[in-house]
Protein backbone atom coordinates (compact mmCIF):
# COMPACT_ATOMS: atom_id res chain seq x y z
CA UNK A 1 0.00 0.00 0.00
CA UNK A 2 2.89 2.35 0.73
CA UNK A 3 3.97 2.74 -2.91
CA UNK A 4 0.53 3.24 -4.46
CA UNK A 5 -0.18 6.88 -3.60
CA UNK A 6 -0.19 7.96 -7.26
CA UNK A 7 -2.68 5.26 -8.21
CA UNK A 8 -6.44 5.72 -8.08
CA UNK A 9 -8.02 2.85 -6.19
CA UNK A 10 -11.55 1.50 -6.20
CA UNK A 11 -13.61 -0.96 -4.16
CA UNK A 12 -17.18 -1.81 -3.19
CA UNK A 13 -17.70 -0.28 0.26
CA UNK A 14 -21.01 -1.95 1.09
CA UNK A 15 -21.23 -5.57 2.34
CA UNK A 16 -21.31 -8.32 -0.30
CA UNK A 17 -24.68 -9.58 -1.49
CA UNK A 18 -27.88 -8.08 -2.80
CA UNK A 19 -29.32 -4.89 -1.28
CA UNK A 20 -31.15 -1.67 -1.99
CA UNK A 21 -27.96 0.08 -3.06
CA UNK A 22 -24.25 -0.63 -3.37
CA UNK A 23 -21.62 2.04 -2.83
CA UNK A 24 -18.43 1.99 -4.89
CA UNK A 25 -15.61 4.22 -3.67
CA UNK A 26 -12.79 5.74 -5.71
CA UNK A 27 -9.81 7.57 -4.23
CA UNK A 28 -6.77 9.07 -5.88
CA UNK A 29 -5.70 11.77 -8.31
CA UNK A 30 -7.80 10.38 -11.17
CA UNK A 31 -11.03 9.63 -9.27
CA UNK A 32 -13.23 12.24 -10.97
CA UNK A 33 -11.77 11.56 -14.41
CA UNK A 34 -12.49 7.84 -14.05
CA UNK A 35 -16.05 8.52 -12.92
CA UNK A 36 -16.56 10.72 -16.00
CA UNK A 37 -15.31 7.92 -18.25
CA UNK A 38 -17.97 5.47 -17.09
CA UNK A 39 -20.61 8.19 -16.70
CA UNK A 40 -20.12 10.62 -19.62
CA UNK A 41 -23.09 12.68 -18.49
CA UNK A 42 -20.92 14.11 -15.71
CA UNK A 43 -18.88 15.92 -18.37
CA UNK A 44 -21.86 18.18 -19.02
CA UNK A 45 -22.15 19.16 -15.35
CA UNK A 46 -20.20 21.66 -13.28
CA UNK A 47 -18.95 19.33 -10.58
CA UNK A 48 -18.63 20.74 -7.06
CA UNK A 49 -17.30 19.08 -3.95
CA UNK A 50 -19.77 17.48 -1.53
CA UNK A 51 -22.55 17.52 -4.13
CA UNK A 52 -24.45 14.48 -5.39
CA UNK A 53 -25.30 14.10 -9.09
CA UNK A 54 -27.79 11.77 -10.73
CA UNK A 55 -26.13 10.20 -13.77
CA UNK A 56 -26.14 7.15 -16.03
CA UNK A 57 -23.43 4.47 -15.95
CA UNK A 58 -22.55 3.15 -19.40
CA UNK A 59 -20.29 0.27 -20.42
CA UNK A 60 -17.46 0.50 -22.95
CA UNK A 61 -19.91 0.10 -25.86
CA UNK A 62 -22.10 2.95 -24.59
CA UNK A 63 -24.88 0.65 -23.43
CA UNK A 64 -26.76 1.78 -20.33
CA UNK A 65 -25.71 -0.29 -17.28
CA UNK A 66 -27.39 1.50 -14.40
CA UNK A 67 -28.70 4.75 -12.98
CA UNK A 68 -26.58 6.06 -10.11
CA UNK A 69 -26.07 8.91 -7.68
CA UNK A 70 -22.46 10.09 -7.83
CA UNK A 71 -20.92 12.19 -5.06
CA UNK A 72 -17.62 14.04 -5.45
CA UNK A 73 -15.19 15.14 -2.71
CA UNK A 74 -12.24 17.27 -3.75
CA UNK A 75 -8.71 16.63 -2.51
CA UNK A 76 -8.14 17.95 1.01
CA UNK A 77 -11.85 17.74 1.87
CA UNK A 78 -12.38 13.98 1.78
CA UNK A 79 -11.85 11.11 4.22
CA UNK A 80 -8.62 10.05 2.51
CA UNK A 81 -7.43 13.58 1.78
CA UNK A 82 -7.43 12.74 -1.94
CA UNK A 83 -10.00 13.15 -4.69
CA UNK A 84 -12.84 10.80 -3.76
CA UNK A 85 -15.89 9.73 -5.75
CA UNK A 86 -18.66 7.56 -4.32
CA UNK A 87 -21.01 5.85 -6.76
CA UNK A 88 -24.35 4.74 -5.30
CA UNK A 89 -25.83 2.22 -7.72
CA UNK A 90 -28.54 -0.41 -7.43
CA UNK A 91 -27.47 -3.20 -5.05
CA UNK A 92 -27.10 -5.96 -7.61
CA UNK A 93 -23.87 -7.93 -7.29
CA UNK A 94 -23.67 -8.11 -11.07
CA UNK A 95 -24.04 -4.34 -11.52
CA UNK A 96 -21.58 -3.35 -8.79
CA UNK A 97 -18.97 -5.85 -10.00
CA UNK A 98 -19.47 -4.70 -13.59
CA UNK A 99 -18.83 -1.08 -12.53
CA UNK A 100 -15.63 -2.19 -10.77
CA UNK A 101 -14.55 -3.99 -13.96
CA UNK A 102 -15.20 -0.83 -16.01
CA UNK A 103 -13.15 1.30 -13.60
CA UNK A 104 -10.24 -1.16 -13.71
CA UNK A 105 -10.42 -1.23 -17.52
CA UNK A 106 -10.05 2.56 -17.49
CA UNK A 107 -6.97 2.44 -15.24
CA UNK A 108 -8.13 2.15 -11.64
CA UNK A 109 -6.43 -0.29 -9.24
CA UNK A 110 -8.34 -2.58 -6.91
CA UNK A 111 -7.99 -1.33 -3.34
CA UNK A 112 -6.34 -3.52 -0.74
CA UNK A 113 -7.89 -4.14 2.66
CA UNK A 114 -7.96 -0.95 4.70
CA UNK A 115 -6.28 1.08 1.96
CA UNK A 116 -8.72 4.01 2.12
CA UNK A 117 -8.09 4.39 5.85
CA UNK A 118 -4.35 3.87 5.29
CA UNK A 119 -4.36 6.76 2.82
CA UNK A 120 -6.23 8.92 5.32
CA UNK A 121 -3.46 8.17 7.81
CA UNK A 122 -0.63 8.80 5.35
CA UNK A 123 -2.24 12.12 4.34
CA UNK A 124 -2.47 13.21 8.00
CA UNK A 125 -6.26 13.16 8.06
CA UNK A 126 -6.21 10.82 11.05
CA UNK A 127 -3.60 9.32 13.37
CA UNK A 128 -3.04 5.61 14.00
CA UNK A 129 -5.33 5.48 17.05
CA UNK A 130 -8.13 6.99 14.98
CA UNK A 131 -7.39 4.51 12.17
CA UNK A 132 -7.89 1.66 14.66
CA UNK A 133 -11.13 3.27 15.84
CA UNK A 134 -12.54 3.14 12.29
CA UNK A 135 -12.33 -0.66 12.38
CA UNK A 136 -13.68 -0.74 15.95
CA UNK A 137 -16.67 1.34 14.88
CA UNK A 138 -17.37 -0.93 11.90
CA UNK A 139 -17.15 -4.02 14.11
CA UNK A 140 -19.05 -2.59 17.10
CA UNK A 141 -21.97 -4.75 18.22
CA UNK A 142 -23.39 -2.73 21.08
CA UNK A 143 -24.00 0.84 22.22
CA UNK A 144 -21.01 0.98 24.53
CA UNK A 145 -18.41 -0.20 21.99
CA UNK A 146 -19.82 2.09 19.27
CA UNK A 147 -19.75 5.06 21.61
CA UNK A 148 -16.15 4.45 22.72
CA UNK A 149 -15.02 3.92 19.10
CA UNK A 150 -16.68 7.15 18.00
CA UNK A 151 -14.96 9.12 20.76
CA UNK A 152 -11.62 7.66 19.68
CA UNK A 153 -12.36 8.56 16.06
CA UNK A 154 -13.04 12.12 17.20
CA UNK A 155 -9.58 12.18 18.76
CA UNK A 156 -10.33 12.07 22.50
CA UNK A 157 -7.65 9.53 23.43
CA UNK A 158 -5.26 10.84 20.75
CA UNK A 159 -5.23 14.21 22.48
CA UNK A 160 -4.28 12.48 25.74
CA UNK A 161 -1.33 10.75 24.09
CA UNK A 162 -0.33 13.92 22.23
CA UNK A 163 -0.23 15.84 25.51
CA UNK A 164 1.96 13.13 27.05
CA UNK A 165 4.19 13.13 23.96
CA UNK A 166 4.64 16.90 24.15
CA UNK A 167 5.60 16.92 27.83
CA UNK A 168 7.89 13.90 27.44
CA UNK A 169 9.64 15.75 24.62
CA UNK A 170 10.11 18.76 26.90
CA UNK A 171 11.61 16.60 29.65
CA UNK A 172 13.91 14.79 27.24
CA UNK A 173 15.04 18.03 25.59
CA UNK A 174 15.98 19.56 28.94
CA UNK A 175 17.84 16.44 30.08
CA UNK A 176 19.79 16.31 26.82
CA UNK A 177 20.57 20.02 27.13
CA UNK A 178 21.88 19.43 30.64
CA UNK A 179 24.20 16.77 29.20
CA UNK A 180 25.53 19.28 26.65
CA UNK A 181 26.19 21.90 29.34
CA UNK A 182 27.39 19.54 32.08
CA UNK A 183 31.06 20.42 31.56
CA UNK A 184 30.25 24.09 32.14
CA UNK A 185 28.45 23.42 35.43
CA UNK A 186 25.14 24.83 34.19
CA UNK A 187 21.86 23.29 35.47
CA UNK A 188 19.37 23.55 32.60
CA UNK A 189 16.51 22.15 34.67
CA UNK A 190 16.02 21.67 38.39
CA UNK A 191 15.99 17.89 39.08
CA UNK A 192 13.06 18.33 41.51
CA UNK A 193 11.01 20.09 38.83
CA UNK A 194 11.86 17.33 36.35
CA UNK A 195 10.95 14.64 38.87
CA UNK A 196 7.58 16.30 39.55
CA UNK A 197 6.79 16.47 35.83
CA UNK A 198 7.77 12.84 35.25
CA UNK A 199 5.65 11.64 38.16
CA UNK A 200 2.64 13.55 36.78
CA UNK A 201 3.23 11.95 33.37
CA UNK A 202 3.59 8.56 35.00
CA UNK A 203 0.21 8.94 36.73
CA UNK A 204 -1.54 9.86 33.47
CA UNK A 205 0.02 6.93 31.66
CA UNK A 206 -0.89 4.59 34.51
CA UNK A 207 -4.55 5.64 34.22
CA UNK A 208 -4.51 4.95 30.47
CA UNK A 209 -2.87 1.54 30.95
CA UNK A 210 -5.37 0.67 33.68
CA UNK A 211 -8.28 1.61 31.41
CA UNK A 212 -7.48 -1.24 28.99
CA UNK A 213 -9.34 -3.87 31.01
CA UNK A 214 -12.60 -1.92 30.87
CA UNK A 215 -11.89 -0.79 27.31
CA UNK A 216 -11.36 -4.35 26.11
CA UNK A 217 -14.55 -5.57 27.78
CA UNK A 218 -16.53 -2.72 26.23
CA UNK A 219 -15.05 -3.37 22.79
CA UNK A 220 -15.12 -7.17 22.74
CA UNK A 221 -17.88 -7.85 25.25
CA UNK A 222 -17.85 -9.79 28.52
CA UNK A 223 -17.18 -13.53 28.33
CA UNK A 224 -18.83 -15.46 31.19
CA UNK A 225 -18.81 -19.23 31.63
CA UNK A 226 -21.38 -21.30 33.53
CA UNK A 227 -19.57 -23.97 35.50
CA UNK A 228 -20.78 -26.68 37.89
CA UNK A 229 -21.64 -30.34 38.27
CA UNK A 230 -24.20 -32.00 35.96
CA UNK A 231 -27.89 -31.18 36.27
CA UNK A 232 -27.52 -28.05 38.44
CA UNK A 233 -29.43 -25.97 35.87
CA UNK A 234 -26.66 -24.36 33.81
CA UNK A 235 -28.42 -24.87 30.49
CA UNK A 236 -31.71 -23.42 31.76
CA UNK A 237 -29.83 -20.35 33.01
CA UNK A 238 -28.03 -19.95 29.68
CA UNK A 239 -31.39 -19.91 27.89
CA UNK A 240 -32.71 -17.36 30.38
CA UNK A 241 -29.67 -15.07 30.13
CA UNK A 242 -29.46 -15.21 26.33
CA UNK A 243 -33.27 -14.98 25.98
CA UNK A 244 -33.16 -17.87 23.54
CA UNK A 245 -33.37 -21.66 23.60
CA UNK A 246 -29.68 -22.19 22.93
CA UNK A 247 -29.16 -25.28 25.07
CA UNK A 248 -31.14 -28.53 25.27
CA UNK A 249 -32.64 -28.95 28.74
CA UNK A 250 -33.56 -32.39 30.13
CA UNK A 251 -33.67 -33.98 33.61
CA UNK A 252 -30.87 -36.33 32.48
CA UNK A 253 -27.49 -35.49 34.01
CA UNK A 254 -24.79 -35.00 31.36
CA UNK A 255 -27.10 -33.74 28.60
CA UNK A 256 -24.64 -30.97 27.72
CA UNK A 257 -21.38 -32.47 26.48
CA UNK A 258 -19.82 -29.57 24.60
CA UNK A 259 -19.53 -25.82 25.07
CA UNK A 260 -22.64 -23.93 23.94
CA UNK A 261 -22.48 -20.15 23.49
CA UNK A 262 -25.27 -17.63 23.83
CA UNK A 263 -25.01 -13.86 23.38
CA UNK A 264 -27.12 -11.06 24.80
CA UNK A 265 -27.09 -7.29 25.21
CA UNK A 266 -27.58 -5.75 28.63
CA UNK A 267 -27.28 -2.06 29.53
CA UNK A 268 -25.37 -1.34 26.33
CA UNK A 269 -22.81 -4.13 26.82
CA UNK A 270 -22.47 -7.42 24.95
CA UNK A 271 -22.33 -10.59 27.05
CA UNK A 272 -21.21 -13.93 25.63
CA UNK A 273 -22.21 -16.74 27.97
CA UNK A 274 -21.00 -20.32 27.71
CA UNK A 275 -22.81 -23.38 28.97
CA UNK A 276 -20.41 -26.24 29.68
CA UNK A 277 -20.44 -29.96 30.34
CA UNK A 278 -21.06 -30.82 33.98
CA UNK A 279 -17.93 -31.33 36.09
CA UNK A 280 -17.63 -34.90 37.39
CA UNK A 281 -15.46 -37.99 37.24
CA UNK A 282 -16.57 -40.19 34.36
CA UNK A 283 -15.43 -43.18 32.32
CA UNK A 284 -17.30 -41.97 29.26
CA UNK A 285 -14.61 -40.81 26.81
CA UNK A 286 -16.90 -38.28 25.11
CA UNK A 287 -17.96 -36.79 28.42
CA UNK A 288 -14.30 -36.60 29.53
CA UNK A 289 -13.55 -34.45 26.50
CA UNK A 290 -16.51 -32.22 27.39
CA UNK A 291 -15.28 -31.79 30.99
CA UNK A 292 -11.81 -30.91 29.74
CA UNK A 293 -13.29 -28.29 27.44
CA UNK A 294 -15.26 -26.89 30.38
CA UNK A 295 -12.03 -26.22 32.28
CA UNK A 296 -10.39 -24.63 29.23
CA UNK A 297 -13.43 -22.41 28.66
CA UNK A 298 -13.24 -21.24 32.28
CA UNK A 299 -9.61 -20.21 31.78
CA UNK A 300 -10.54 -18.12 28.73
CA UNK A 301 -13.50 -16.40 30.38
CA UNK A 302 -13.52 -12.98 32.03
CA UNK A 303 -15.63 -14.37 34.87
CA UNK A 304 -16.87 -17.76 36.10
CA UNK A 305 -20.49 -18.22 37.15
CA UNK A 306 -20.33 -21.31 39.34
CA UNK A 307 -23.79 -22.87 39.65
CA UNK A 308 -24.81 -24.67 42.86
CA UNK A 309 -27.99 -26.72 43.12
CA UNK A 310 -29.58 -25.62 46.42
CA UNK A 311 -31.53 -28.88 46.64
CA UNK A 312 -28.33 -30.95 46.69
CA UNK A 313 -25.18 -29.36 48.12
CA UNK A 314 -21.94 -31.33 48.36
CA UNK A 315 -19.32 -29.18 50.13
CA UNK A 316 -16.42 -31.51 49.27
CA UNK A 317 -17.36 -31.50 45.59
CA UNK A 318 -17.70 -27.71 45.49
CA UNK A 319 -14.30 -27.26 47.16
CA UNK A 320 -12.65 -29.56 44.64
CA UNK A 321 -14.25 -27.94 41.60
CA UNK A 322 -13.50 -24.37 42.70
CA UNK A 323 -9.78 -25.13 43.02
CA UNK A 324 -9.41 -24.72 39.26
CA UNK A 325 -11.07 -21.26 39.24
CA UNK A 326 -8.43 -18.52 39.36
CA UNK A 327 -10.21 -15.39 38.10
CA UNK A 328 -13.31 -13.42 39.11
CA UNK A 329 -16.07 -15.65 40.51
CA UNK A 330 -19.77 -15.34 41.23
CA UNK A 331 -21.70 -18.25 42.75
CA UNK A 332 -25.26 -18.79 41.57
CA UNK A 333 -27.46 -20.47 44.19
CA UNK A 334 -29.82 -22.08 41.72
CA UNK A 335 -33.29 -23.62 42.06
CA UNK A 336 -34.00 -21.16 44.85
CA UNK A 337 -37.72 -21.58 44.18
CA UNK A 338 -37.51 -25.18 45.45
CA UNK A 339 -35.96 -24.57 48.89
CA UNK A 340 -36.80 -22.81 52.14
CA UNK A 341 -35.10 -19.78 53.71
CA UNK A 342 -33.26 -21.91 56.31
CA UNK A 343 -31.81 -24.06 53.51
CA UNK A 344 -30.59 -20.92 51.72
CA UNK A 345 -28.97 -19.65 54.93
CA UNK A 346 -27.29 -23.01 55.46
CA UNK A 347 -25.98 -23.01 51.87
CA UNK A 348 -24.47 -19.55 52.31
CA UNK A 349 -22.78 -20.68 55.55
CA UNK A 350 -21.27 -23.71 53.79
CA UNK A 351 -19.93 -21.53 50.98
CA UNK A 352 -18.54 -19.01 53.47
CA UNK A 353 -16.65 -21.77 55.23
CA UNK A 354 -15.24 -22.98 51.92
CA UNK A 355 -14.31 -19.46 50.72
CA UNK A 356 -13.72 -17.15 53.72
CA UNK A 357 -13.18 -14.14 51.42
CA UNK A 358 -16.53 -14.66 49.66
CA UNK A 359 -18.77 -11.59 49.89
CA UNK A 360 -22.54 -11.84 50.08
CA UNK A 361 -22.94 -9.86 46.84
CA UNK A 362 -21.01 -12.64 45.06
CA UNK A 363 -23.65 -15.26 45.90
CA UNK A 364 -26.90 -14.73 44.02
CA UNK A 365 -30.18 -16.58 44.32
CA UNK A 366 -31.31 -17.78 40.88
CA UNK A 367 -34.16 -19.62 39.26
CA UNK A 368 -34.86 -20.00 35.56
CA UNK A 369 -38.54 -19.41 36.40
CA UNK A 370 -37.77 -15.93 37.74
CA UNK A 371 -37.16 -13.39 34.91
CA UNK A 372 -35.49 -11.00 37.39
CA UNK A 373 -32.69 -13.56 37.75
CA UNK A 374 -31.26 -12.35 34.45
CA UNK A 375 -31.12 -8.73 35.60
CA UNK A 376 -29.60 -9.61 38.98
CA UNK A 377 -26.87 -11.85 37.56
CA UNK A 378 -25.83 -9.65 34.62
CA UNK A 379 -25.77 -6.58 36.87
CA UNK A 380 -23.59 -8.47 39.36
CA UNK A 381 -21.21 -9.55 36.57
CA UNK A 382 -20.92 -6.00 35.33
CA UNK A 383 -20.20 -4.70 38.85
CA UNK A 384 -17.76 -7.49 39.62
CA UNK A 385 -15.60 -6.72 36.60
CA UNK A 386 -15.18 -3.11 37.63
CA UNK A 387 -15.94 0.33 36.31
CA UNK A 388 -17.82 0.12 33.02
CA UNK A 389 -19.20 3.65 32.92
CA UNK A 390 -16.22 4.90 30.94
CA UNK A 391 -17.92 5.55 27.60
CA UNK A 392 -17.31 9.30 28.02
CA UNK A 393 -13.68 8.89 29.06
CA UNK A 394 -10.46 8.23 27.16
CA UNK A 395 -9.87 4.48 27.32
CA UNK A 396 -7.37 2.16 25.67
CA UNK A 397 -9.18 -0.56 23.70
CA UNK A 398 -6.60 -2.24 21.47
CA UNK A 399 -3.88 -4.67 22.49
CA UNK A 400 -1.37 -2.69 20.44
CA UNK A 401 -2.13 0.53 22.32
CA UNK A 402 -1.99 -1.31 25.64
CA UNK A 403 1.36 -3.01 24.97
CA UNK A 404 3.01 0.23 23.87
CA UNK A 405 1.45 2.24 26.73
CA UNK A 406 2.65 -0.36 29.21
CA UNK A 407 6.18 -0.22 27.80
CA UNK A 408 6.15 3.57 27.93
CA UNK A 409 5.00 3.40 31.55
CA UNK A 410 7.74 0.91 32.42
CA UNK A 411 10.38 3.19 30.89
CA UNK A 412 8.96 6.14 32.83
CA UNK A 413 9.22 4.14 36.05
CA UNK A 414 12.87 3.37 35.35
CA UNK A 415 13.55 7.04 34.48
CA UNK A 416 12.01 8.22 37.75
CA UNK A 417 13.93 5.61 39.73
CA UNK A 418 17.22 6.61 38.08
CA UNK A 419 16.53 10.28 38.70
CA UNK A 420 15.76 9.65 42.38
CA UNK A 421 19.04 7.74 42.67
CA UNK A 422 20.82 10.75 41.09
CA UNK A 423 22.12 8.59 38.26
CA UNK A 424 23.74 10.12 35.18
CA UNK A 425 21.60 12.17 32.81
CA UNK A 426 22.71 9.96 29.89
CA UNK A 427 20.94 6.93 31.41
CA UNK A 428 17.78 8.87 32.23
CA UNK A 429 17.68 10.28 28.69
CA UNK A 430 18.03 6.78 27.23
CA UNK A 431 14.98 5.47 29.11
CA UNK A 432 12.93 8.62 28.47
CA UNK A 433 13.66 8.33 24.76
CA UNK A 434 12.26 4.78 24.80
CA UNK A 435 9.15 5.98 26.63
CA UNK A 436 8.64 8.81 24.13
CA UNK A 437 9.22 6.55 21.13
CA UNK A 438 6.55 4.15 22.37
CA UNK A 439 3.99 6.97 22.62
CA UNK A 440 4.91 8.15 19.13
CA UNK A 441 4.34 4.63 17.82
CA UNK A 442 0.89 4.59 19.40
CA UNK A 443 -0.05 7.73 17.48
CA UNK A 444 1.76 6.69 14.31
CA UNK A 445 4.20 9.62 14.47
CA UNK A 446 6.84 6.91 14.16
CA UNK A 447 5.95 3.68 12.35
CA UNK A 448 7.30 0.76 10.36
CA UNK A 449 5.84 -2.01 8.20
CA UNK A 450 5.23 -4.24 11.22
CA UNK A 451 3.08 -1.59 12.92
CA UNK A 452 1.17 -0.89 9.70
CA UNK A 453 0.48 -4.57 9.10
CA UNK A 454 -0.79 -5.01 12.64
CA UNK A 455 -3.21 -2.08 12.39
CA UNK A 456 -4.60 -2.58 8.89
CA UNK A 457 -4.59 -6.37 8.38
CA UNK A 458 -8.08 -6.80 9.90
CA UNK A 459 -9.78 -4.15 7.74
CA UNK A 460 -12.33 -5.03 5.09
CA UNK A 461 -12.18 -4.02 1.44
CA UNK A 462 -13.74 -0.64 0.73
CA UNK A 463 -12.59 0.91 4.02
Q: Is the pLDDT of residue 253 over 60?
A: no
Q: Is the pLDDT of residue 212 over 70?
A: yes
Could you read off the pLDDT of 287-309 as tens digits, one per residue? Answer: 677 777 877 888 888 999 999 99
pLDDT of residue 162: 96
pLDDT of residue 214: 85
Most confident option among 60-74, 135-149, 231-245, 278-292: 60-74
Compute the average pLDDT of residues 326-344: 91
Q: Is the pLDDT of residue 286 over 70?
A: no
Q: Which segment of 204-213, 318-327, 400-409 scores lowest on mean pLDDT?
A: 318-327
Let me know: does 279 contact 316? Beta carbons within 8 Å. no
pLDDT more than 90, % of the chain: 50
Compute the average pLDDT of residues 256-262: 74
Could you read off the pLDDT of 373-401 as tens digits, one per residue? Answer: 999 999 999 888 876 565 567 789 899 99
What pTM does this model have?
A: 0.77
Compute the average pLDDT of residues 78-96: 96
Q: Is the pLDDT of residue 179 over 80?
A: no
Q: Could you give all domains of the chain from N- to C-terminal order, each with its CATH number? A: 9-125 (3.30.1360.120), 142-211+394-446 (1.20.120.430), 220-384 (3.40.50.300)
The residue among 294 and 33 whose pLDDT is bigger is 33
Q: Is the pLDDT of residue 285 over 80?
A: no
- Per-residue pLDDT band at 79 (split at 50, 70, 90): very high
pLDDT of residue 188: 57
- Per-residue pLDDT band at 180 (split at 50, 70, 90): low
pLDDT of residue 332: 93
The residue among 189 and 58 whose pLDDT is bigger is 58
Could you read off the pLDDT of 402-450 as tens digits, one per residue? Answer: 999 999 999 999 999 999 988 878 889 999 999 999 999 999 998 877 7
Compute the average pLDDT of residues 237-254: 72
Compute the average pLDDT of residues 108-119: 93
pLDDT of residue 423: 81
pLDDT of residue 129: 94
Q: Which segment of 80-89, 217-226, 381-390 scores lowest on mean pLDDT?
A: 381-390
pLDDT of residue 325: 82
- Per-residue pLDDT band at 457 (split at 50, 70, 90): confident
pLDDT of residue 44: 86
pLDDT of residue 387: 61
Average pLDDT taken over every residue of the chain: 87
Amino acid sequence: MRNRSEQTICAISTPPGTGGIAVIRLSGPGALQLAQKISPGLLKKTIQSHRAYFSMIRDSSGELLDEAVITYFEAGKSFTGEQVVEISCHGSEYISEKIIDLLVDHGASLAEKGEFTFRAFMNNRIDLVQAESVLSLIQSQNQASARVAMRQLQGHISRKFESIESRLTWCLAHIEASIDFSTEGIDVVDPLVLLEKLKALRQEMFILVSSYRSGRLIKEGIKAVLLGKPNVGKSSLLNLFSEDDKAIVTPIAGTTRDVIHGATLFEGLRFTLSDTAGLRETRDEVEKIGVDRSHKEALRADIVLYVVDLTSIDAQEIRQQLQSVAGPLIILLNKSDLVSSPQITQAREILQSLIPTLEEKDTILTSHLDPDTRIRVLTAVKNKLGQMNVMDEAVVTSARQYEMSKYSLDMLDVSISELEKKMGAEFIAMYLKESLLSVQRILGHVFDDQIMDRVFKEFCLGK
